[in-house]
Amino acid sequence: MADAISLQSSRSRDLDKLLLRPGHLVGPSFEPGTELRDDLQQYVRILVVGAGGLGCELLKDLALSGFRNLEVIDMDRIEVSNLNRQFLFRLEDVGKPKAEVAAKRVMERVSGVNIVPHFCRIEDKELEFYSEFSIIVLGLDSIEARKYDSDDNPQEHTMKPMVDGGTEGFKGHARVILPGITPCFECTIWLFPPQVKFPLCTLAETPRTAAHCIEYAHLIKWDEVHSGKSFDPDNPEHMQWVYLEAAKRAELFGIPGVTYSLTQGVVKNIIPAIASTNAIISAACALETLKIASGCSKTLSNYLTYNGVEGLHTKVTEFVKDKDCLVCGPGILIELDTSVTLKMFIDLVEDHPKLLISGASVTHRGKNLYMQAPPVLEEMTRSNLSLPLFELMDKFPKGIVHVTGMAGKGDKRQSCLRKLRVAFKGVDGIMDTDMAGGAIQGAFGRRTGWNTDE
């Protein structure tokens, strides 16, 4: 018994320096004492999204920081290529779910911690699942994956503080997102390297590179052949289908270089990772999580960058919210009858005094409701024009749609993207959709999978 008490005392020694005494940089609600440490262990629940390279580090660091109630969600299985940097996994674990193995290994090493694994997609969980956590920590490996964690229509009870970490080679970042206070992810999307996006008309009509052929199979051919079936980048059969279709198109246009590995890289937009960078960024994220939960110090304001390419450089920058943000910004409210068709909605948008968009294309939760171009997508979505928008939005009383098109007058016309808050009259559940936040951003609302292979 004495040995156990001594071990626990040594483990919490550094933590006690933060939690058991006052300081000059503490939060306004900070009350030092053993009760605070006990409350962190008993009541605070943390969800870690991703059990890849960064996720493994996060689970370990959070467990060693005094948090006892952790959960982790990841849809991937362990691959041999993961073993060089995802230190919780062994060769005998190949093929097993990452979340389950990572939880088991941390619980074996850190006594007293309880980690519940979830081997599934985030969209497999109901909104109420996410509202049960105090803080959500992201350990994802791609920009697109983070976008899936941004809900355009957050609910008040699901908006939670979020700590986001990301790495790319010897560079990384840690950031704190507080609903309604700090910028959401989309507000500062420009901080990340520009993602390669190809015009759909190029993909459909004049491909010139192997990547064009792959994206054609991924973005156009898949929907054309598998109408209504979502593409899953983590399904080997789906990826193999895209590869074979891309190879056929490349052969047709005499374009070399289409391989299965390149297909994976283009479709998933995989970012390289280095173990030491993961460890540094994870430590920063775990510290910020502890600050938010305990108030033992002021939180990061609000974006930390790390660069270890040449020497060591860190910098903290305070960014501000983008008032026109397509995620946490208010958007433009439009009230409609449930009988309004998509065609009527597009006409309304094109005549709206605050929009005046021509050639409008409409998307809802990542789904193309109507696309003006290229011709193959216009033909595929044309039948939606006669359907009520209420039905196309799955009969929800309110929701967010995004409209793209051309705005402006004369030679000053330019392409634009607008966020619209659509509310249907006379439907139960209508309430003000202009909610602050977008941080956790709600419920990880988009119905899509993600890859967490750091």
Give me the active site residues, please. Answer: 201
- Residue 236 three-state SS: helix
User: Rounded to the nearest 5°, which phi and psi values hold at 415?
Assistant: -70, 150
Max Cα distance, the chain (Å): 82
- Residue 144 three-state SS: helix
Could you say which DSSP state residue 97 is in? Answer: B
The CA R_g of the chain, rounded to the nearest whole Å, is 24
Alpha helices in 295-439 (DSSP H): 342-351, 375-381, 389-392
- Residue 273 three-state SS: strand
- Residue 151 three-state SS: coil
- Residue 47 three-state SS: strand
- Residue 194 three-state SS: coil
| Burial class for 95, CB neighbours closer than 10 Å (0-12, 13-18, 19+) | exposed
The Cα 181–Cα 202 span in angstroms is 41
Give the CA distances from residue 170 to residues 12, 175, 274, in Å, rounded to whole numbers and listed in that order. 31, 17, 7
The residue with tokens 């619209």 is: 420
Specify whether the CB–CB gap between 295 and 284 falls below 8 A: no
The Cα 203–Cα 205 span in angstroms is 6
Q: What is the 3-state secondary structure (H, E, C) of 336-356?
A: ECCCCEHHHHHHHHHHCCCCC
Specify whether the CB–CB gap between 344 and 360 falls below 8 A: no
Edge-to-edge strand ranges of the sheet holding 162-168: 114-118, 69-73, 45-49, 135-139, 162-168, 171-177, 303-307, 313-317
Specify whether the CB–CB gap between 294 and 40 falls below 8 A: yes
